[in-house]
Amino acid sequence: MGGLRQKKYQSGEGTRYVTRKTALKLLQLSLKNFRTLCILKGIYPREPRHRKKAQQGATGIKTLYYKKDIQFLMHEPMIWKLREMKIFAKKVKRARALRDFRLMKRIVRNHPKLTLDHIVKERYPTFIDAIRDLDDCLTLCFLFSTFPSIRHVPRDQSALCRRLTVEFLHWVIAARALRKVFISIKGYYYQAEIKGQIVTWIVPHHFSFEPQAREEVDFKVMSTFVDFYTIVLGFVNFRLYQSFNLIYPPKFQGFSDCEKELVDERQYVSERIAALNVPLVQTQTGEEAEPEVEIDEFPACTDDPEKLEKARLEMERIKNLKTLFNGCKFYLNREVPREPLVFIIRCFGGEVSWNRLLFVGASFDENDDTITHQIVDRPNVQKVPHPRPITRQFHKYTLKLTLYICTTGSTVTKQFYVQPQWVFDCVNARQLLPMNKYFLGATLPPHLSPFVDETKDHYVPPEEKAMRDPKAASEASGDEGLSEDSDDDKEEDDEEAEVVDESETSDEDSAGDVEMKDDDPIEVEVKKNNPGDREKKRLEKKKSMSVTVGTVTKENPQENARLAKQEYRLREKMIPRKYHKLYKSMMKGRMERSKEAWLLRKKRRLNDEEKKMKQKAERKQKLSAAVASV
């Protein structure tokens, strides 16, 4: 007898997934607690390959989870803590209904606390794993640090995010781990290198919070993520401070996260920026700070010396980047965004200050003679505070460059008025850029994003090409002016080459003619005088060197394109069947990127043409005005 026949949906996709309703019954939790548990444990819905089989023939679209994930949640001890909190809420509600306030106070005093330390250790068994997953953690914590006390977002949570983010920024300043910065509509993009891992996060622009007219964002779900991320960031900050022999938690003068101080948001922001301008205190006892990583030097007989050379050059660039603003003192005017500039300048060894009458935490005044740069973001300077300014006229446009010449003994210092973008562009270029394009009132160059993958096909603007390879850009500009001369030289070279070819062919033809004449008296005399094999070899070699007229074959470009297309299709057919969908998605992404690059090139071309037309119109107007005045 054969075995029992297996019923439908008892194997494969039908047994691998469970619906959310089934999961709630298995765990005996409410939907709110189930969502909290899934967020904290890192479990999320899955998309099956065959939805009808996964749903056991049910129609519609349901939320599905892996069955093994739900079985994993059944052994989580936090489920009992959630049940205790549910019972606690019921007891408090009953005591309030009976107006037994003494019992209610006793119950509230013994309320259960939910700890997430064991979940953090479970999800991140090593410190490097936590750093790899730090991007979303930092972005969400910086976002919540700007929120006031609103519904579903308690005030102590926002205050905790503020404190943890300020501590992390202080460690980045102390370690000088910042690598890239970028300004966008969303906020300020930062990228740091921590323990060899690249961490990128966004800090939103500081605006006053506007309440939502409709609850489009579920702040309760986001607040659950923040509860977990604050524990992770606290662990990470402690380990980072400990590795650099710094006191944790750090103590900042004039900085407090008390609820009374949070009423005035502007005052709190000024205190937070003032805290960034204070150096951290190191511990007197404990382990030494971690030394800087150095590349080992291997002998030249290694397999790939080019990679070692690239790594060595990259380490030298990073070492120079860490001391980019050493010896520079910056003074920030009141219209400048202070928090990103203070963070960036201090990350690269510079000193920064501002008006002490407007904001707290200033380290020096505007009258300090050692100030090298003033960051200004206004159209012009109407009042110059220094008694001896010098103004210069620049070519093609008038630009006021105020140079403060302060003589202190035998030293002379200069102050430059530059716009804030100069600081960001210097960091991305890893060098101090020329300041003539960033002076007060100048039209700023485009702010290019450093977060571009050079390996993928994308649109590269000409400014970025010039930044990557300034020599090529200068050569291209020089070639435009010398195009006519180069064309003339090419024509002359072609004519000389033709003359040389004709002379060579004539000589060779004459040599061939001499060879073909058998009755030449000179050749007969040579043969008679030297009848040896040596002369025969010489004559044979001379015959083999004769020039023969070749035939020119013209290639058909259409036929070549057809053959190339045919070969490409044959290569596509050789792809295994299981990789067809992956290949199609890759080709679709490539087509979308190429289309986007084409649209950007077209947009740039139209913009350049519009600028040229405007310049021509302005020149005509100036010329007509000059003629009319004459």
Tens digit of pLDDT for each residue in 22-54?
Answer: 999 999 999 989 999 999 999 999 998 888 888
Q: For all residues of the chain together, what is the average pLDDT?
A: 78
Name which residue leads in pLDDT, 456 or 224: 224
Could you tell me if residue 5 is inside a domain? no
Domain total of the chain: 4
In the prediction, which pLDDT does 273 show? Answer: 82
Q: What pTM was estimated for this model as a whole?
A: 0.73
In the prediction, which pLDDT does 152 show? Answer: 73
- d(C-alpha 356, C-alpha 76), whole Å: 54
209 C-beta neighbours (distance < 10 Å), count: 10
Could you tell me if residue 522 is inside a domain? no
Task: Kindly state whether residues 149 and 166 are assigned to the same domain.
Answer: yes
Residue 478 in tokens = 């020089």
The backbone torsions φ and ψ at residue 212, rounded to the nearest 5 degrees and listed phi first, read -80, 135
Residue at 335: amino acid letter: E
Could you tell me if residue 394 is inside a domain? yes
Name which residue leads in pLDDT, 373 or 459: 373
In the prediction, which pLDDT does 554 show? Answer: 84
Q: Residue 194 belongs to what H/E stretch?
A: strand 187-194
Task: Kindly state whether residues 268 and 165 are assigned to the same domain.
Answer: yes
Could you tell me if residue 575 is inside a domain? yes
- d(C-alpha 416, C-alpha 12), whole Å: 71
Could you tell me if residue 77 is inside a domain? yes
Task: Kindly state whether residues 100 and 144 are assigned to the same domain.
Answer: no
Could you tell me if residue 142 is inside a domain? yes
Domain end: 109, 136, 158, which one? 109
> What would the mean pLDDT of 456-467 be, rounded to a whole number?
74
Task: Kindly state whether residues 445 and 462 are assigned to the same domain.
Answer: no
Contacts of 332 (CB under 8 A, 6+ apart): 338, 341, 342, 352, 353, 354, 375
Residue 613 scores a pLDDT above 80: yes
In the prediction, which pLDDT does 474 show? Answer: 56
What confidence tens digit (pLDDT) does each residue in 88-123 have?
999 999 999 999 999 999 998 988 888 888 999 999
Task: Kindly state whether residues 126 and 269 are assigned to the same domain.
Answer: yes
Looking at 19-74, list the stretches that DSSP marks H as alpha helix, in order from N- to C-terminal side: 20-27, 31-41, 51-54, 67-73
- d(C-alpha 627, C-alpha 630), whole Å: 5
Task: Kindly state whether residues 71 and 147 are assigned to the same domain.
Answer: no
Q: Residue 552 belongs to what H/E stretch?
A: none
In the prediction, which pLDDT does 412 show? Answer: 43
Q: What order of strands is seen across the sheet that includes strand 187-194?
A: 178-183, 187-194, 197-204
Domain assignment of residue 367, given as a range: 325-451
> What would the mean pLDDT of 411-423 be, rounded to a whole number?
79
Contacts of 320 (CB under 8 A, 6+ apart): 430, 431
Task: Kindly state whether residues 447 and 459 are assigned to the same domain.
Answer: no
Residue 492 in tokens = 């002359």
Residue 128 scores a pLDDT above 90: yes
> What would the mean pLDDT of 195-202 be, rounded to a whole number?
92
Could you tell me if residue 19 is inside a domain? yes
Task: Kindly state whether residues 352 and 406 are assigned to the same domain.
Answer: yes
Residue 310 scores a pLDDT above 50: yes
Residue 360 in tokens = 């707290």
Q: Which residues pair with 373 in a beta bridge?
A: 330, 416
- Identify which of 607, 586, 589, 588 has the alpha carbon closest to the alpha carbon of residue 461: 607
Task: Kindly state whether residues 145 and 76 are assigned to the same domain.
Answer: no
Task: Kindly state whether residues 100 and 121 are assigned to the same domain.
Answer: no
Residue 60 gets the label, from left (phi > 0), alpha (psi -120 to 50) or beta, of: left
Residue at 436: amino acid letter: N
Residue at 416: amino acid letter: F
Could you tell me if residue 591 is inside a domain? yes
Name which residue leads in pLDDT, 186 or 533: 186
Task: Kindly state whether residues 125 and 263 are assigned to the same domain.
Answer: yes
- d(C-alpha 366, C-alpha 334), whole Å: 12
Q: Which residues pair with 204 in a beta bridge?
A: 187
- d(C-alpha 196, C-alpha 473), whole Å: 34
In the prediction, which pLDDT does 405 show? Answer: 37
Contacts of 257 (CB under 8 A, 6+ apart): 159, 160, 162, 163
In the prediction, which pLDDT does 495 show? Answer: 45
Task: Kindly state whether residues 166 and 251 are assigned to the same domain.
Answer: yes
Helix (H, G, I), strand (E, B) or coil at 148: coil
Domain end: 109, 142, 174, which one? 109
Domain end: 88, 109, 130, which one? 109
Among the listed ranges 180-189, 395-404, 528-537, which one has the minimum average pLDDT value?
395-404
In the prediction, which pLDDT does 233 show? Answer: 94
Among the listed ranges 243-257, 291-305, 444-458, 498-512, which one has the minimum average pLDDT value?
498-512
